[in-house]
Amino acid sequence: MTEEYIVEERGKFKPQMTPNRPGKLKYGRTFVIGLAFFMCSYAWSYYNNVMPLILREYMEAMGLGNSIDVLVGVIMVLDNIVAIFLLPVFGSLSDRTKSKFGKRTPYIVIGVISAMTAFYGMGIIYNFPGVAAFWALILVIMWFNISMAFFRSPAVALMPDMTDPNVRSTGNAIINLMGAVAMVFGLLTPTLSDLIFGKSRSLMGGFFLVSIITILAFVLFYLNIKETPTGDKFMRIGRNSIALDPVTLDYIGERKTEKREPLLESLQNVFVNKDRSALFMLLVIFTWFFGYNAIGTWYSTYAVEYLGWELASASRALSLAPIAMIVTAIFAGKIAEWIGRKTTILIGLIGLATGFSAVMLIGYLDLGGIYLTILFIIIGVFYGLVNINTIVMVWEMAPKNKIGSYTGTYYFFSQMSDTLSPVVAGGLFSITKWMFQMPQGQQYVILFPYAILCLIIAILFLLRVKSGESQKFLEKKAKR
């Protein structure tokens, strides 16, 4: 027994899939693993697209008047609030799960089936008007949020479990590509639902389509991805985290885990470590999301209220970013292997800040059209450089066998940013309008400077990060 493991039982459970070749990525397997993230992203994409409309329809019928926007906003951030507290918990629990199906798969099985049952239930409830149906919808929304949180961290942690650390950037690029494809699917589902079910039943039909397509993706995932078993039963939570070899996929053993709340344990590891790189990396994640999410939330309002554009034109331009990320996602992972993850993220942050500055200038000069289209495509590329590589650096900094916990910590910071950023930006708009006595719409002029400032702060934090590169890159760098 080595000093690291309290129970080393290498070979106790046999791998169910062929091992990886050192330094090589199994692309086909990684795409199928990416279906787990596809399932998360597809449901959220459709939910975020249509749920505000459904909630508004119920609230207008209930005569809630001027408070509707606030109430819709509160309900729509419930998923972020749930995620802040539950993602780290389920990520940590999956690190310690003993199961004949592996330590992540049980969460995906239970979570997907439960979430899609709730999701389909939303479509059924939408057929019924009235206060009782509204409160039933709220309860099912909470059920859906908890179910999605149950499997998201384990789903994301599965790829690094089964991938050589030296090629995780490319692996995560594929995972993010699958997420971007899911976002596009979510945006196209209302159109497909219109064609199949007709406009009057389109929203309800969309819930059905998402549920069916997600279950089909789940079946494909379940039939093809077989984790190394970590126990003899369906699911049992152990006291210690479980180690697997990401190259050979061999079961190694258990590593002692202190009894402490998972999130607090991960945060303590970050704060007490003499190398502050993990802390600064999490602050990079928080601040860059803080800026980018403000654009995602408020750009349409900025374009319509401040620039006077048509909503359809503004939305089409913004939707180009995830499409550009789909096309360039694997390149974003590869370039990180060539020049380093930190440098790649730095290029992405500088590119985003420059791109936002150019969008602001185009809006001021009222150019629009083709210039804006090109800019948002470029912004999507820079977005991929940052988003694909930040979590990979967090995984690299995680203590051995704590990838699930650190995945949850990553989502704690990103979801906290998701929750706070739109509210803070909205508050700044209100304060700006009041302080300078601006006419309605002019307060949104500060949107892009606000986002650019957040990105500059993220760059300053990134410059303090000293670790998180792959061993292969460090060896290559040492030979130069």
Same domain assignment for residues 296 and 169: no
> What domain range includes position 156?
1-257
In single-letter form, the type of residue at position 425 comes to A
Q: Could you write out the DSSP letters of every residue in 362-385?
A: HHHHT--HHHHHHHHHHHHHHHHH
Predicted confidence at residue 1, as pLDDT, reads 37
Tokens at 185, concatenated? 């699917």
Statement: residue 260 has pLDDT above 60: no
Q: Which residues are bridge partners to 254 per DSSP?
A: 7, 242
Verify that 114 and 148 share a domain, yes or no.
Answer: yes
In angstroms, the CA 242 to CA 43 distance is 30
> Per-residue pLDDT averaged across 231-237, rounded?
91
Q: How far apart are CA 105 and CA 376, in angstroms?
A: 37
CA distance 400 to 408: 15
**Which pLDDT score is estimated for 211?**
95
Whole-angstrom distance, CA of residue 274 vs CA of residue 240: 24
Please identify, among 218, 239, 257, the residue that sits at the C-terminal boundary of a domain. Answer: 257
Residue 78 pLDDT: 76
Tokens 């239930």 sit on residue: 121
pLDDT of residue 71: 73
Backbone φ, ψ for residue 431 (5° rounding) = -65, -45
Least trusted range by pLDDT, from 13-17, 178-182, 427-431: 427-431
Residue 259 has pLDDT above 60, yes or no: no
Does the pLDDT at position 24 exceed 70? Answer: yes
pLDDT tens readout for residues 114-127 = 999 999 999 999 98
What pLDDT, in 10s, does the model give residues 371-428? 777 888 899 899 989 988 998 899 888 876 677 778 778 888 988 898 888 778 878 8
Q: How many Cβ atoms are within 10 Å of 200's Cβ, its own excluded?
A: 9
- For the cut 60, the answer to whether the pLDDT of residue 469 exceeds it is yes
Decide the pairing of beta strands 97-98 and 236-237.
antiparallel
| 421's tokens | 């950023």
Residues 204 and 330 in one domain: no
Whole-number mean pLDDT of the chain? 85
Same domain, yes or no, for 229 and 191?
yes
Of 257, 288, 314, the domain-final residue: 257
Distance between CA atoms of residues 468 and 394, nearest Å: 7
pLDDT at 312 exceeding the cut of 60: no
**Long-range CB pairs of 2-5, under 8 A, 24+ apart, other chains included:** 4/255, 4/400, 5/243, 5/252, 5/253, 5/254, 5/255, 5/256
What's 173's domain CATH number? 1.20.1250.20
CA distance 172 to 159: 8
Is there a single domain that holds both residue 286 and residue 433?
A: yes
Domain finish residue from 257, 291, 317: 257
Nearest to 289 by CA among 446, 176, 379, 413: 413
What's the pLDDT score for residue 3?
Answer: 42
Is the model's pLDDT at 2 over the cut of 50? no
Tell how far CA 282 is from the center of its chain: 14
- For residue 133, is pLDDT > 90? yes
User: 13 and 135 share a domain?
Assistant: yes
**Reported confidence tier of residue 314, pLDDT bands at 50, 70, 90:** low
Provide the pLDDT for residue 45: 82
Query: Which of 229, 226, 225 is closest to 217 using CA atoms?
Result: 225
Distance CA 176, CA 270 (A): 25
Q: Which residues pair with 7 in a beta bridge?
A: 254
Percent of the chain residues topping a pLDDT of 70: 89
The Cα-based distances of 296 to 268, 314, 331, 351 in angstroms read: 32, 11, 24, 17
In a domain, 104, yes or no: yes
Same domain assignment for residues 12 and 96: yes
Average pLDDT for residues 307-321, to the nearest whole number?
65
Say if pTM beats, i.e. exceeds, 0.85.
no
CA 444 to chain centre: 27
Residues 6+ apart with CB under 8 A from 374: none
> 217: closest CA among 172, 185, 173?
185
Q: What is the pLDDT of residue 459?
A: 98
